[in-house]
Amino acid sequence: MSDRRRVGVNGMGGITPVGRDVETTWGNVVAGVSGGGPSTLFDTTGYRTTIAAEVSDWDPTQHFDVKELRRLDRFLEFFIVAARQAIAHAGLDFRNDEEAASRAGVMAGAGFGGMGAFIDEITTLVEKGPDRVSPTGVPRIIPNMAAGLVSIEHNLTGPVSCVVTACSASANAIGDAAEIIRRGAADVMVAGGAEAAITTFGISTFAQARALSTRNDDPQAASRPFDADRDGFVMGEGGAVLVLESLEHARARGAEPLAEITGYGMSADAYHITLPKPGGMGAAKAMRAALDDAGLVPEDIGYINAHGTSTPANDATETAAIKIALGDAAYGVPVSSTKSMTGHLLGGAGAVEAIISILAMRNGVLPPTINYTTPDPECDLDYVPNEAREAKVRHVMSNSFGFGGHNVTLIFSAL
């Protein structure tokens, strides 16, 4: 660690099913407020799953003019607004400083990108013919446009890229952005992710894979990670962005970062296209790699924000992985899944949960896992059931796992 630049988190922004900014999201997560409800974004008649965690009162015209909106998919709207919030929170402005702008970049993460735009354009092609397809179709669909549009809006001319690793994408984006700063290729990176997959295809394909909860009559109780009666995840949407900055650069301009990103670990299950590898060894490798990167031991970790999707296989496997990675210390570490409230934001989940992990550390409050009523013998850790808990911690871990066997762990530490 001594040979690398240290990286702080200096700004945060987020649009989630339980809040249109970070402060509101945090307040609702601590209070155990569920964002689950009936799907309203399309007609769910005939669908196995008819519920989701939507950004239900989203009005993009409050943030974009009509001309801009023609070029934006819903996921892009979420990412751009979250980035605006985070950059303003960090107190940065690169639009009139070319030298500083050349040392600042963007790293976005998404699992699907513009799924809604893709469905719209394919429908137009089939029903109306090729001459009616929009020339802005491609920019609305491709995941990297999230990074591109933020770089354009804020004049960020340093490293700009995009990570597409399913549900670990935005965690990868944060970790990769930190590495860019660590090696000296940038001073500031805007990093996070977004997703807007509550669509006809998104809901139907995950439902066909038996990944979604079918607790349609009780949507607020449908996401129940680690509970014995869990039956799948609730699809969420939104976006979250962090501003990462070298500690030296931040302090030189009089800013004191909110936290330091100290650990980043990755691994692959190399097992199955959707299922986690039984036993948890793959995910445990990512956690151990993050601990090694941070120079920490298991006993240092005070809280884990779990991937915790509320699917039978994921939650049992993650529990096993935590026990492998932390050993005997696992039973003394509080673990919660805030997906019980936000739903699963897919490619945007890791960034949302990174922010929640940082705020848990800063505020001395661990968010709960709501809807936890029936213990599962395979899930035998402390899941902070149903009510938030006060606790002072200095190091927090956030897990994100994606289809294809991608495992990512981030560790944030107090300064």
Label each residue of 53-107 as H, E or C: ECCCCCCHHHCCCHHHHCCCCHHHHHHHHHHHHHHHHHCCCCCCCHHHHCCEEEE
Element (H, E) at 162: strand 160-163
Say which of 344, 379, 395, 406 is annotated catalytic.
344
Q: Do 229 and 86 share a domain, yes or no?
A: yes
Q: pLDDT value at position 214?
A: 98
pLDDT at 382 over 60: yes
Q: What is the pLDDT of residues 350-374, one digit of tens each?
A: 999 999 999 999 999 999 999 999 9
Q: What are the two backbone dihedrals, phi and then psi, of residue 262, each rounded to the nearest 5 degrees? A: -110, -25
CA atoms of 75 and 92, how far apart (whole Å): 24
CA atoms of 60 and 67, how far apart (whole Å): 12
Whether 369 is covered by a domain: the verdict is yes
Q: Do 247 and 327 share a domain, yes or no?
A: no
Q: Which residues contact 203 (CB under 8 A, 6 or more apart)?
A: 39, 44, 47, 49, 52, 212, 235
Whether 2 is covered by a domain: the verdict is no
Q: What is the CATH number of the domain that holds 215?
A: 3.40.47.10
Q: How far is CA 245 from CA 92, 190, 205, 355, in A?
A: 11, 9, 39, 15
Whether 217 is covered by a domain: the verdict is yes
Q: What is the pTM of this model?
A: 0.97
Whether 272 is covered by a domain: the verdict is yes
Tell me the average pLDDT across 99-127: 98
Q: pLDDT value at position 261?
A: 98
Single out the residue of 25, 88, 80 nearest to residue 55, CA to CA: 25
What's the burial of 64, exposed, middle or buried (CB within 10 Å: 0-12/13-18/19+)? middle
Q: What is the pLDDT of residues 53-97, one digit of tens each?
A: 999 989 999 999 999 999 999 999 999 999 999 999 999 999 999
Q: Do 294 and 200 share a domain, yes or no?
A: no
Q: Do 120 and 143 share a domain, yes or no?
A: yes
Whether 198 is covered by a domain: the verdict is yes
Q: Do 194 and 71 share a domain, yes or no?
A: yes
Say which of 89, 249, 307, 406 is annotated catalytic.
307
Last residue of a domain, one of 252, 275, 302: 252
Tell me the average pLDDT across 97-104: 96
Tell me the average pLDDT across 197-214: 97
Tell me the average pLDDT across 385-407: 98
Whether 163 is covered by a domain: the verdict is yes
Last residue of a domain, one of 252, 281, 298: 252
pLDDT class of 4 with cuts at 50, 70, 90: confident
Q: Do 112 and 212 share a domain, yes or no?
A: yes
Q: In this structure, what token pair is assigned to residue 201?
A: 């295809």
Tell me the average pLDDT across 342-353: 98
Q: Do 292 and 214 share a domain, yes or no?
A: no
Q: Do 303 and 192 share a domain, yes or no?
A: no
Q: 140 near 72, Cβ under 8 Å?
A: yes
Q: pLDDT value at position 46?
A: 97
pLDDT at 2 over 80: no
Please name the residue ranges forming H helices in 183-252. Answer: 200-208, 247-252
Q: Do 50 and 147 share a domain, yes or no?
A: yes
Q: pLDDT value at position 415?
A: 96
Concerning whether 344 is annotated as a catalytic residue, the answer is: yes
Concerning whether 272 is annotated as a catalytic residue, the answer is: no
Q: Do 387 and 303 share a domain, yes or no?
A: yes
Q: Do 278 and 403 share a domain, yes or no?
A: yes
pLDDT class of 235 with cuts at 50, 70, 90: very high
Domain housing 357: 264-413
Last residue of a domain, one of 230, 252, 274: 252
Q: pLDDT value at position 1?
A: 43
Q: In this structure, what token pair is assigned to residue 202?
A: 């998104």
Whether 257 is covered by a domain: the verdict is no
Whether 39 is covered by a domain: the verdict is yes
Total tally of structural domains belonging to the chain: 2
Say which of 154, 167, 379, 406 is annotated catalytic.
167
Q: What is the pLDDT of residues 126-179, one digit of tens each?
A: 999 999 999 999 999 999 999 999 999 999 999 999 999 999 999 999 999 999
| Sign of the CA dihedral running 310, 314, 320, 324 | negative
Q: Do 122 and 224 share a domain, yes or no?
A: yes
